[in-house]
A and B are shown apart, each in its own frame.
Chain A
Amino acid sequence: MIGFLGDFDLAEEAAQEAFAVAAERWPSDGTPSNPRAWLVTAARNRAIDRIRRDRTLAAKTPLLEVPEAGEDVVDETTIPDERLELVFTCCHPALALDAQVALTLRTLGGLGTEEIARAFLVPEATMAKRLVRAKAKIKAAGIPFRVPPAHLLPDRLAAVLAVVYLIFNEGYGGRGDLAAEAIRLGRALAELMPDEPEVHGLLALMLVNDARRDARFADGAMVLLRDQDRSLWDLEQIAHGRSAHDRASALGGRGPYVLQAALAILHVEEPPDWPRIAASYGELARLTGSPVVELNQAVAIAETGDVESALAVVERLDLEHYHYLHATRAELLRRLDRLQDARAAYDRALELVHSDAERRFLERRRAELGG
């Protein structure tokens, strides 16, 4: 409907009216043979009525030239699936990232404004304003409703995946409902773009990480992967993650999400192949240039037994304000029996950490050192 009308608000209102009419008529008249087609047609007709009544009729006259289809001619096959165009509109880089996230959850995820506001810990009025502003900009700035042409697609697809992954990570930090929503969006993208390896890579990454969700926290504190209770892992979901990753690999994918999915899978193997994990992090670090990835590589190097080299990597990273850097450094120093330095590093990590679960974890580790 949004694609047909080029107007988010009008589409939403028309759809609501169509559902209201359906709720009134279907119980007495019977459900039509193709409910989806009926609803789309009803919503379109309502929107056209509305526009006709509207004073801006002249500006929107081209719209009225669209033939008014009856239920008999609109069937499932003639209604194009416009969710893909919608994804690219919602995640357009001319919109602020927080607006992209909110619009995606609202229009693709079907979440209410209030739910989104709660998920991102902002007042509902703030979120409502953000959505209104974003919709107004789409209209005023001419943000197109279409899948970008081939030369723009890689960048724009990366923006879409970043939004979904951001939603997932909001959920991964504790709000499980958002993680589930992100996975649902990931599944939809994989269905809509079956030939894009990074889409399958992201889905695989989310599935495998989310499968360990119940094991990541115990008594409100974070649990390290190696200490996790594997009986709490969702093995079926990990298997789904593996097949999504296999599909990405079969498509020749070696992009950042495919590599991260490969790493997530390597991490749940028993016993983990640390040299291979360290090498994969190396590949990902070269691809992304991310010091956070190098930090993870250092952890893997430490697991191979070479704690000194791992510490050397950590100490040359420019991540002074990242609590994981200090937590990792503390852990490595502890293993090297440099307890004084380890305590100082835990203290620095504790100054920077935000999540309560992670704070409790760090406090416990620091207490184990004594002193």
Chain B
Amino acid sequence: MRYMLLIHQGTAPTPRSPEEWGRLSEDEQRAVYAAYKAIGETPGVSSGLQLAPAETATTVRVEDGKTLTTDGPFVAIKEALGGYLVFDADDIDAAIELASRIPAAGMGGAVEVRPVVER
């Protein structure tokens, strides 16, 4: 079955915030890149996308037929989605294992694992 892994950056440093990212040693930075690369190359992983920072998000609501547009993500910035990937796996154990290898999960963020509805 397929799972979507929703990556929440939380307080995990990313290259987009150079100050926090700069606090990681070069080895740590390389390890983060290598881990994401390995995840992307894991058999069963497909259609992953990294999203631009949550600060660039625009949230749209429609009320009484009127479109209301607001700046920022639907949830708080720290809780916003940073990226996602789809993983075809035998069971949730495999998906949990992959999620635990995503650097954000171990650096102040979290990964939500959601089964995809197959039609």
Binding site for B on A (CB under 8 A): 92, 94, 140-144, 148, 152
Contact = CB atoms under 8 A, between A and B. Distances in A.
Nearest to A152: B93
A306 B89 CA distance: 58
Nearest to B114: A141
A140 B115 CA distance: 7
B115 A144 contact: no
A141 B92 contact: yes
Contacts of A144: 90-93
Nearest to A138: B92
Which DSSP category, helix, strand, loop or mixed, fits chain A's interface?
loop
15 contacts: A94-B92, A94-B96, A94-B113, A141-B92, A141-B113, A142-B1, A142-B3, A142-B90, A142-B91, A142-B92, A143-B91, A144-B91, A144-B92, A144-B93, A152-B93
B115 A141 contact: yes
Contacts of B91: 142-144
Residue among B3, B93, B115 with the highest chain A CB neighbour number at 10 A: B93
A142 B92 CA distance: 5
A329 to B, nearest CB: 37
Nearest to A88: B93
Contacts of A94: 92, 96, 113
Choose among B89, B91, B96 the residue with the greatest number of A CB atoms under 10 Å from its CB.
B91
A148 B90 CA distance: 13
Interface in B87-112: 89-93, 95-96
A141 B99 CA distance: 14
A275 to B, nearest CB: 42
Interface in B60-106: 89-93, 95-96
A141 B96 CA distance: 11
A370 B88 CA distance: 70
Closest 7 CB pairs of A and B: A144-B91, A142-B91, A142-B92, A142-B1, A141-B115, A141-B92, A143-B92
Contact of A148 (B89, B93, B95): B93
A146 to B, nearest CB: 8
Contacts of B3: 142
Given A94-B96, A142-B1, 9 more contacts: A92-B92, A94-B113, A141-B113, A141-B115, A142-B91, A142-B92, A143-B92, A144-B91, A148-B93
A148 B91 CA distance: 11
A10 B90 CA distance: 22
Nearest to B3: A142
Contacts of B89: 142
B119 to A, nearest CB: 11
A274 B18 CA distance: 58
Contacts of A140: 115
A144 B109 CA distance: 26
A270 B74 CA distance: 65
Nearest to B95: A142
A63 B90 CA distance: 17
A155 B96 CA distance: 13
Contacts of A142: 1, 3, 89-92, 95, 115
B56 to A, nearest CB: 32
Nearest to B91: A144
A94 B96 CA distance: 9
Nearest to B96: A94
Nearest to A93: B96
Q: Which of B90, B92, B95 has the most CB of A within 10 A?
A: B92
A143 B90 CA distance: 10
A94 B111 CA distance: 13
Contacts of B90: 142, 144
A62 to B, nearest CB: 14
Nearest to B97: A152
Contacts of A92: 92
B88 to A, nearest CB: 11
A110 B92 CA distance: 26
Contacts of A143: 91-92
A317 to B, nearest CB: 29
